Amino acid sequence: MAEVRHVEPNVGKFDNTVLHLTQEGDPCRMWSNATIDRQLDAADVCPGETIGIKKSEEQYTYETDDGEEREAFDYEV
């Protein structure tokens, strides 16, 4: 579990989101992904709220728009 301190959108080459969190009193940053972003938006999570993020144990495969095959994990917020 971590407290959301700030959500920084459109960071880096691929315009990802960086979550600024505090976990057990220590500040940390986490690169988000589209799956996490959608769940945070749907739950209307704001700074000051506490969240947990759980990564699935099983990978899945998908194809990019360029036809490249990639592996990924699902996340639950």
Residue 52 CB neighbour total at 10 angstroms: 8
Q: Are 41 and 19 in contact (CB under 8 A)?
A: no
Residue 67: per-residue pLDDT:
94
Residue 27: per-residue pLDDT:
97
Distance, in Å, from the CA atom of 13 to the CA atom of 58, rounded to the nearest integer, reads 28
* pLDDT average per 10 residues of sequence, the chain (77 residues): 96 95 95 94 96 93 92 90
Residue 66: per-residue pLDDT:
92
- DSSP assignment, residue 67? S
